[in-house]
Amino acid sequence: MYIKNNFKDKILYVGQHDFLFIDTILNNLTLGSKEIDIEKVVEICKLFDIHNSIMKLDKGYETVIGEKNTHSLSG
């Protein structure tokens, strides 16, 4: 049985159109949350097979991406 507040934490909206903040890959993935552990982010990126692509960039997870930047991760 879910408690109402607990249930809301488990839902995420994924729209049809992607949007990237002009920020680091890490901040885009975590939406800027400092509560999310980098090791957990890396683990999830490995599951989705994007970790190696991120690590090929000069600054890895600290690479700045977004609409006005040249780096893109969309496939």
Could you report the per-residue pLDDT of 41-60, keeping only the tens digit for each? 999 999 999 999 999 999 99
16 in a structural domain: yes
31 domain-assigned: yes
Q: Which residues contact 36 (CB under 8 A, 6 or more apart)?
A: 30
pLDDT: is 72 or 10 the higher one?
10
Q: What is the model's pLDDT at position 69?
A: 53
Q: What is the DSSP string of the chain?
A: ---HHHHHTT-----SS----SEEHHHHHHTT-SSS-HHHHHHHHHHTT-HHHHHTSTTGGG-EESTTSS-----
Total number of domains in the chain: 1
> In this prediction, what percent of the chain has a pLDDT beyond 90?
52
pLDDT band at 67, cuts 50/70/90?
Answer: low
The answer to whether residue 26 is domain-embedded is yes
Residue with the bigger pLDDT between 6 and 75: it is 6
**Per-residue pLDDT at 70:** 52
- Identify the pLDDT of residue 24: 95
Domain span including residue 60: 10-65
